[in-house]
Amino acid sequence: MVINTNLSAQTAATHLLESSSALAKSLQRLSSGSKITSPADDSAGLAVSMKLSAELGRIGAASDNLANAISFKQTQDGYLQQVDAAFNRMGELAMQAQDVTKTDADRVLLNHEFQSLGFFVLDVANKTFNGISLFSGQPLSATTDGDGSTFALTGVNMSAFTYTHAATNNILTSSALSTQAHNTMLDVETALKQLAQDRANIGADLSSLGYYHEQLVTLKNNLSAANSRIVDVDVAQESTQYARQNILVQSGTAMLAQANSAAQGVLKLLQ
């Protein structure tokens, strides 16, 4: 039996240090909710997680861009629904102006409403969405993924001749009244056909944007799940490890005390 070197105490101290370190790491994981509390825990996993997190951020931004693009197109269609109602009413007024039982005074009243509706149609061309013109006719591009790919949105030009000509026409009395009102009605019909085409294009854009948005949502969910498997702690499993290490620390402390007291037996040999 030796006194200068207590191998049992040194061994117990080593095991206690290892258990204490494991217990501290388990506490860090449980308190942070992450399996990787330092790069040393899983360097490769950390690198993969960083790439996934960056991609998730870009996908989230692209998803927001798509949502804004959908709102943009929906706003366009909302205005065009009102334009459709206005043109339909203007067509009715143009037809009424061709009534042989209407007087010139009647046609003046009909034309007043016609002009008011035409002004409304012309005013719609100036509407904006967050400062961006809704009806300039310029195609816009919406990002569809985290890599910056884009989808071209069809432009709607409310300043086109088809719209402006019908909106600025009139149904007043003239020497060729029936021809004037009839031609105005035909112009309105042409504008309605163009309007139907523009709304169909908006509908097609909305459908495509919806598919792109759903695709991004699915991709984001899957990438989030993959990233979670790398970095998120399994609380049930880690709680078990914490309990195990806690027991080892307590027993290691007790055994170190026993190992330190074992040398006291040498005193009996000296009595």
* pLDDT for position 42: 76
In words, the CATH class of domain 43-231 is: mainly alpha
Say which amino acid occupies 142: A
* pLDDT for position 34: 78
* pLDDT for position 266: 60
Query: Residue 225 is encoded by which pair of tokens?
Result: 């799940």
Query: Residue 200 is encoded by which pair of tokens?
Result: 């169909």
Q: Kindly provide the b/e burial profile for residues 252-270, where b requires at least 16 CB atoms within 10 angstroms of the residue's own CB.
A: beebbeebeeebeeeeeee
* pLDDT for position 175: 47
* pLDDT for position 271: 59
At 103, phi and psi to the nearest 5?
-90, 170
* pLDDT for position 3: 57
At 128, phi and psi to the nearest 5?
-130, 165
Regions of the chain where pLDDT drops below 50: 175
Interval 122-173: pLDDT, tens? 999 999 999 999 999 988 999 988 888 899 999 999 999 999 999 999 888 6
Q: Hey, how many other C-beta atoms are within 10 angstroms of the C-beta on 21?
A: 12
The domain ranges of the chain are: 7-33+241-270, 43-231
* pLDDT for position 10: 77
Q: Which is nearest to 238 in space by CA: 49, 27, 21?
A: 27
Element (H, E) at 75: helix 43-96
Q: Which is nearest to 233 in space by CA: 76, 32, 7?
A: 32
pTM: 0.78
* Cα–Cα distance, 39 to 63 (Å, whole number): 31
